[in-house]
Amino acid sequence: MTPAEPRPDGARAGSPRPSTIEDVAREAGVSRAAVSKVIRNAYGVSDRMRTQVEAAIERLGYRPRVAARAMRGASFTFGFEIPQVGNDFLTMIVDGATEALAETPYQMIIAPLGRDQKGDMAINSLVDRQVDGIVAISPRVDPAWIERIAERIPVVMIGRHDRSDRYDTITGDDRSGAEQVMSHLLDQGHRRITHLTIHPSRPEPPWAGQAGDEPHVIRTAVYRERMAALGLEQSVVHTMFDGSEAHDATRALLASPEPPTAIFAGNDTLAIGVLSAIAEAGLDERDVSVVGYDNIPIAGHPLVSLSSVDQSGVLMGREAARLLFERLSGRTEAVQSQIEATLRERRSSAPPRRP
Amino acid sequence: MTPAEPRPDGARAGSPRPSTIEDVAREAGVSRAAVSKVIRNAYGVSDRMRTQVEAAIERLGYRPRVAARAMRGASFTFGFEIPQVGNDFLTMIVDGATEALAETPYQMIIAPLGRDQKGDMAINSLVDRQVDGIVAISPRVDPAWIERIAERIPVVMIGRHDRSDRYDTITGDDRSGAEQVMSHLLDQGHRRITHLTIHPSRPEPPWAGQAGDEPHVIRTAVYRERMAALGLEQSVVHTMFDGSEAHDATRALLASPEPPTAIFAGNDTLAIGVLSAIAEAGLDERDVSVVGYDNIPIAGHPLVSLSSVDQSGVLMGREAARLLFERLSGRTEAVQSQIEATLRERRSSAPPRRP
DNA sequence: TTGAAAGCGCTAACAG
DNA sequence: CTGTTAGCGCTTTCAA
């Protein structure tokens, strides 16, 4: 705006350019290399030099530029790709990882997905930023593509049940979790049970053979098996992931001639949407029971009291960070880590009024 | 682990090093500068060259390294500092910004705060990564320090009501919002109203004179004014931000000889904690009414139905992105943007049983 | 234990 | 319109 800027490099008065490693070296009377070693805690610096350099850093308020470091060595950054910022289960994962990174020089950055964006975009953006490790949560990316990335950067995939010998995976025990849900509902006497889950990938990706590895697909499969085993009629409804469609779908179900007495929702976000439709219809758990998956914090709230499968997101996040650190210190074989799943029974699921 | 790696630079078999701008230039038979211009959409490239270069990029799967770009020019990255990943109000802000960035070459990264970490850490980490713009949401950082950063990088502060001529601000109308809450409760006949809010900074920071600019402090001030004006006894309770302390504090309040008939919570997260204590005590809104602030999505859920002040976080996020882009294209005067606040009355607030 | 020097991949200024 | 060149701030050999 004011075209009379004094010098292009100098910024405005009183704003000295941030100091560089060079400045620190001069101030401490040592070489750049020496400073570099100090800030990296590298081997081969005398105590005297260390104190000198640290004093200079302090005096100058020096902070290493991540970009410059990344060009030669590490960026000291782990990148998290998360499909929805608002999803409380993912939040728990991030919390767990944040905690694990707290006392390390590593920082976490999160690349959120825009609506309708695919996971590739966010993962690519992390790669472009030369993060030292990637935690990917979107289940719908080409495994072969991820493997290629994992050749250069440690990758942990959370959720998907495929095995790779290039990247590590962390999964919940989706089969067991879903079994617990179904047993619970069937034991309570439910027979008309609808399963509500998110849409499968559309259009079918070329690697669709792998779709069976997605957590939601496994949960659905278990539902089908259990229903089939008892000769019960299966009813699977697909919606978008954000809960508002789950609400509408439930309303439609309730208006149908033979509404279900129980709904098994693929995750808690969907279940919350289901509960809202049930409440709006003036019904409760004796009319329609609901069970969710993930045990997000609000599920335990007494006003909501949603039965749900706990698969400790916090633990998953902590584990993800641990696996990345292991890779960084040399591990090359892939690891598959499985987290237990436990159904927490709450008020939202009860024996049906008329079985 | 396997110390017999063939070459330190070469990675493993079949993993060619990612292509650089140099490779693209060679492949397309042009200079590096030409490629650089194409990828930045810069002025001065013939259509023929553009197509050639784009083809080469495609063939090689080239992606520019952000670190290298950041060293000379821009990183095409906006950084968001957010104090709690799980807070749904902040989520709304991120969603708004994500949407605004969707069709641009800019990417967003989020630097979450660890527990007990201060906002400075996350903001510094963003600066270290040479982001092209910063959106800061933590209210408790030294304004002078932020101003210094804003001399080099565009900064938008969300929430705080201070004025700076170096950085932009976006605020809700906290005074009006709090007035609406208090009028609503008083009109309903409540006289014993407790205000529950998060702890003030501790220990007092040197710039504590500015504390009056924090949204929560303003809301508390309005509460005090309105109570004082009617000669009512004030009761302010401070808790941590995560809702579990709000739950405990409420339980204590309910057990006191003269429990409040209404609680005005500083934000929805606290209000949710309050509601859980009320529900656990077997009470409802006719015993103790609750009003929150932020109107997070769950507040509108029929099982919760929390009265709350809406200050459109989505709008704030969108606005933040817009302000950064304006700065990038030359604006130098600071802007203060204010978002309207509107109370949404729901079931959680009702006239007291015995006024 | 310390320092000198060679780049990492890119952009910007300038020359042709 | 296109290419040449000089760094950006750091890490990393490699000598001293």
**Which tens digit of pLDDT belongs to each residue from B132-176?**
999 999 778 899 999 999 999 999 999 999 999 999 999 999 999
Q: Which residue is nearest to nucleotide D12 (CA to C1')?
A: A72
A278 to chain B: nearest residue by CA?
Answer: B302
Tally A–B CB contacts below 8 A.
Answer: 160
A283 neighbors B303 (Cβ within 8 angstroms) = no
A84 neighbors A292 (Cβ within 8 angstroms) = no
Q: Which of A71, A88, A332 sits opposite B86 (nearest CB)?
A: A88
**Token output for B22:** 């140099």
- pLDDT by residue (tens digit) across B183-211? 999 999 999 999 999 987 665 666 655 66
Q: Chain A contact for B282, CB < 8 A?
A: no
Instruction: Say what angle helices B88-101 and B313-328 make with each other, to 10 degrees.
Output: 40
Cα separation, B287 vs B352, whole angstroms: 6
Class of domain A71-172+313-339: alpha beta
- CA-to-C1' span, B213 to D10 (A): 40
- CA-to-C1' span, A265 to D9 (A): 52
A184 neighbors A309 (Cβ within 8 angstroms) = no
Q: Is the pLDDT of residue B242 over 90?
A: no
* Residue B55 CB lies within 7 Å of the nucleic strand D: no
- CA-to-C1' span, B327 to C14 (A): 28
Cα separation, B159 vs B311, whole angstroms: 11
Give Cβ neighbours of residue A191 (< 8 Å, ≥ 6 apart): A230, A232, A261, A355
**Token output for B74:** 């821009």
Residue whose entry in the numeric block shows the structure tokens 């197509």: B51
DSSP state of A12: S
| Helix, strand, coil share of chain A (percent; to 5) | 40, 15, 40
For chain B, what are the domain ranges?
Answer: 1-63, 71-172+313-339, 174-310
To the nearest whole Å, the CA of A79 is away from the closest chain B CA by 9
Are A11 and B65 in contact (CB < 8 Å)?
no
Are B110 and A110 in contact (CB < 8 Å)?
yes
Tell how strand B193-198 and strand B236-239 pair up: parallel
Q: Which residue is nearest to nucleotide D6 (CA to C1')?
A: B72
pLDDT for A7 equals 31
CATH architecture of B174-310: 3-Layer(aba) Sandwich (3.40)
| Cα torsion A29, A34, A37, A42: sign | negative
Are B111 and A108 in contact (CB < 8 Å)?
yes
B88 to chain A: nearest residue by CA?
Answer: A86
Whether omega before B203 lies within 30 degrees of 0, making that bond cis, reads: yes
Contacts of A275 in chain B (CB under 8 A): 301, 303
Whether omega before A203 lies within 30 degrees of 0, making that bond cis, reads: yes
A130 neighbors B65 (Cβ within 8 angstroms) = yes
A261 neighbors A190 (Cβ within 8 angstroms) = yes
A203 neighbors A275 (Cβ within 8 angstroms) = no
The CA dihedral of A302, A304, A305, A308, to the nearest 10 degrees, is: -150
Q: Chain B contact for A71, CB < 8 A?
A: yes
User: Could you check whether A1-63 and A71-172+313-339 share the same CATH topology?
Assistant: no
Determine the CATH number of domain B1-63. Answer: 1.10.260.40
Q: What is the pLDDT along chain A (355 residues), one digit of tens a residue?
A: 223 233 333 333 345 789 999 999 999 999 999 999 999 988 888 999 999 999 999 999 999 999 999 999 899 999 999 988 889 999 999 999 999 998 899 999 999 887 778 888 999 999 999 999 999 997 788 999 999 999 999 999 999 999 999 999 999 999 999 999 999 999 999 999 999 999 876 656 666 556 678 899 999 999 999 999 999 999 999 999 889 999 999 999 999 999 999 999 999 999 999 999 999 999 999 999 999 999 999 999 999 999 999 999 999 999 999 999 999 999 999 999 999 999 999 999 999 986 5
Cα separation, A352 vs A288, whole angstroms: 7
**Upper half-sphere CA count for residue B267 (Cβ side, 13 Å):** 24
Interface of A with B in 126-165 (CB under 8 A): 127-130, 148, 151-152
Name the nearest CA neighbour of A102 among A80, A127, A70, A78.
A78
Residue A239: Cβ within 10 Å count? 22
